[in-house]
Structure 1
Amino acid sequence: MDSKLKVSIAIVLNMIIVILQIVIGLYAHSMALITDAVHNFQDVISLIIAFVAIYFMSKKPTETMTYGYLRSEVMAGFINSAFLLGAIFLIIISSIERFFKPVEVESIYVIVMGAIAFVINAFSAYLLGFHGHSHGEDHEDLNIRAAYLHLLSDAGISLGVVIGGIVIYFYGLNWVDPFISIVFSLYILRETIPVLKKSYMILMESVPSGIDVKHIKDIILENPEIYDVHDMHIWALSSKDIYLSAHVVLRNDVDIEEFDSIVLDIRKRLEAEGINHITLQPETRNFMCEYTY
């Protein structure tokens, strides 16, 4: 079974969970089920992002889309995270209101639905985790691995919903439901905010986290033929594609073949730092003195 089919099956299964949990959650007056539905919806988006990454990796750039569709992964992640933040805040507010205006929870529905969600999430995680490296593509594997971990964590949340339903069923403690909802909401917030921040920074084309601009400049200057570096820009198009462009001032006159060797040397050094696309514009020291940047 190829990766696209695995992810497609997981998307369908988790979308079924989302719809059922929202409908039954509203009927059973369970905020915990609705919170789990929101987290499952986050899984659906994560799976769609993984599917998009697999699909668009095979698409080549065109005359109008010169970078291809690499940024679609980041845009989907940003929209998903922003939506989740709004949904989670609404759920937290509703859960707090439940403490002051208790509602009887139909615990048996919570237990059954939570158990179904746990089984489907666990199966989806197994599906993606089983033979996850069939194609040997690092980027594809990383996306599937991320989706796999997401589903695994959601299986844990669904199990927590089941335990909460059991407590309500035997002890009648209806406040356990909004309490579980708030705890899970805070967990989802902790997971969502870093993704939102990272995707926002990528869309703004800021220097990726973990990249020290001064250190990168020093690495380029380690080449004995480079006198100076300026107009340097570092940005990311996706979570795995980091670009660099810079003007390099040469100490001596070199021909094209010699400059190719310089570029290859710098490229090897920068790949070790996670920068996998570089563009260098050569300049002479006379040109640098004539123009100010």
Structure 2
Amino acid sequence: MSRSSLQHACSHPHVFNESNPLAEKNTRRAVVFTAIMMVIEIVGGWSFNSMALLADGWHMSSHVLALGLSLFAYAAARRYATDARFAFGTWKIEVLAGYTSALALIAVALLMFYESIVRLMTPAPIHYAQAIGIALLGLLVNLVCAWLLKDSHNHGHSHDHAHSHTHDHQDLNLRSAYIHVITDAATSVLAIIALIGGMLWGADWLDPVMGIVGGVLVASWSIGLLRQTGRVLLDAQMGDPVVQEIREVIATSPIKATLCDLHVWKVGKGKYACIVSIATTHDALPEEFKQQLSVHEELVHITVEINRGEVCPVR
């Protein structure tokens, strides 16, 4: 067999993540709805002098950018899916978009804190009826977008073999877009509460205070998203259930072996790659251990290194 034929026989695709066309389509719709509502809320907030409504509008402007980034990530991941420069696929483009969106949320929270404190110290008259109408419309748009972006694929995954664990199948790019919309819906609710309270009881201070509360909510949700996406980007998966599953396979293997080294990282939604280094005195082949590990279907790329001997070699 020629060298080129051997290389072709050993080669295999590195596209580990399925595309999500429905999520991409709904994200595109959400961008359009959110952009229209952003303009309405910012203009309305300035015109009717409502800090809560204005904060919600600026908050929504960041969502337009974030949702646009999510849309771009889907397109880029699909376009470069077969590009050989991406050794383990393009899924992390989507994760990187989610991480960047979380950073944008942090910036929005800080802006909301600042603007609310300024308005709390220098209050101004508010046109409550008009501002409430716009806030209600904004809430309706947010709820429609949240319905479009709700991830129906966020579920546990179990196996038919003896070991059953839950594995993360979240679309982190879609989740980041969903969180942006949900935080916007929350700030819309807070704005409505503040405006109604101010109109009924003359509590003008409620408007900027709710802006501060909204900033706290935005900051807390963004920190959670940063942690999720950051773990994936830094390949911090050695605490995931699949790692213990790999250890159990080697420990219970009919071929007596010692696990010397193990590296596991995520390459898709609920999909992992691993490098396993094993010491054994038996005349075993890497394919035998690969076959044993393949019962865990979330392991989509397995590399096995065999060291001859009873103890692990010094690295």
Shared topology, TM-score over 0.5? Answer: yes
Change (3 A) 1:230 1:193: same
Task: Answer yes or no: is the 8 Å Cα contact 2:197–2:203 preserved in 1.
Answer: yes
Match of residue 236, structure 2, among 189, 198, 206: 206
1:191 CA drift (Å):
0.8
Q: Of residues 63, 82, 95 in structure 2, which corresponds to 1:61? A: 82
1:99 positional shift:
2.6
CA distance in structure 2 between the aligned counterparts of 1:261 and 1:284, rounded to whole angstroms: 15
Partner of 1:183: 213
The share of aligned pairs that are identical, in percent, is 24
Specify the SS of the correspondent of 2:91.
Answer: coil
SS in 2 for 1:282: strand
CA distance in 2, matches of 1:204, 1:141: 17
2:104 matched residue in structure 1:
83
Q: Residue 103 and residue 241 in structure 1: after superposition, are their counterparts in 2 closer, same or farther (change >3 A)?
A: farther
Q: Secondary structure at the match of 1:86?
A: helix
Deviation at 1:244, TM superposition (A): 1.8
| Partner-residue secondary structure (3-state), 2:84 | coil
Distance 1:251 1:25 in 2: 74
State how far apart, in whole Å, the 1-side matches of 2:79 and 2:181 are: 25
Which shifted more, 158-167 or 214-223?
A: 214-223
The CA deviation string for residues 138-179 of structure 1, in whole angstroms up to 9 with x for no partner, is: 969786577557645643442332232222223332111111
Q: Partner of 2:284 in structure 1? A: 254
Q: Secondary structure at the match of 1:279?
A: strand
- The partner residue of 1:116 within 137, 152, 174 is 137
**Structure 1 pair 232–110 and aligned structure 2 pair: CA distance change class (3 A):** same
Q: Counterpart of 1:217? A: 247
RMSD (CA atoms): 3.5
The alignment status of 1:227 with 2:247, answered yes or no, reads no
Structure 1: where are the runs of 5+ without partners? none
Q: State how far apart, in whole Å, the 1-side matches of 2:239 and 2:184 are.
A: 27
Aligned: 1:98 with 2:119:
yes
The reply to whether residue 32 of structure 1 matches residue 52 of structure 2 is yes
Offset, 1:35: 3.3
When the two structures are aligned, how many residues end up with a matched partner? 280
Matched, 1:6 2:26: yes
Amino acid at match of 1:89: L
Provide Cα deviations, 1:62-91, integer angstroms capped at 9, x if missing partner. Answer: 222232321111211222212221331232
Residues 1:170 and 2:200 are matched in the alignment: yes
TM-score, normalised relative to structure 1: 0.77
Q: Which runs of 5+ in 2 are unaligned?
A: 1-20, 154-167
**Partner of residue 40 from structure 2, selected from 7, 20, 39:** 20
SS of the residue 1:268 aligns to? coil
Aligned to 1:23, the other structure's residue is in SS state helix
Counterpart Cα distance in 2 of 1:7 and 1:199: 19
Please give the alpha-carbon distance, in whole angstroms, between the structure 1 residues aligned to 2:197 and 2:260: 64
On the 8 A contact 2:105/2:222 being kept in 1, the answer is yes
Task: Name the CA shift for 1:22/1:246 in 2 (closer, same or farther; >3 Å).
Answer: farther
Question: What is the CA-CA distance between 1:232 and the residue it aligns to?
Answer: 1.6
- Which structure has greater helix proportion? 1
Residue 254 of structure 1 aligns to which amino acid in structure 2? Answer: A
Deviations 1:230-280 (CA, angstroms, capped at 9, x unpaired): 23212234564433212122341035xxx43421222324x4xx6544322
Checking the alignment, whether the CA contact within 8 Å between 1:227 and 1:249 is kept in structure 2 is yes
Distance 2:249 2:268 in 1: 23
Q: Counterparts of 1:207 and 1:4 in 2: how far apart (Å)?
A: 27
1:31/1:91 contact within 8 Å kept: no
AA aligned to 1:190 is: S
1:263 to 290, 306, 315: 290
CA distance in 1, matches of 2:125, 2:88: 54
Going from structure 1 to structure 2, the CA distance change for 1:202 and 1:248 (only over 3 Å counts) comes to: same
| Paired residue secondary structure (1:111) | helix
**SS at 1:71 equivalent:** helix
98-107 or 204-213: which moved more?
204-213
- Alignment check: 8 A CA contact 1:74 1:238 kept: no
Task: Kindly provide the amino acid, as one letter, of the partner of residue 180 in structure 1.
Answer: M
Q: State the SS of the aligned residue for 1:202.
A: helix
Between the aligned partners of 2:238 and 2:71, the Cα distance in structure 1 is 21
Q: Distance in 1 between matches of 2:268 and 2:63?
A: 19
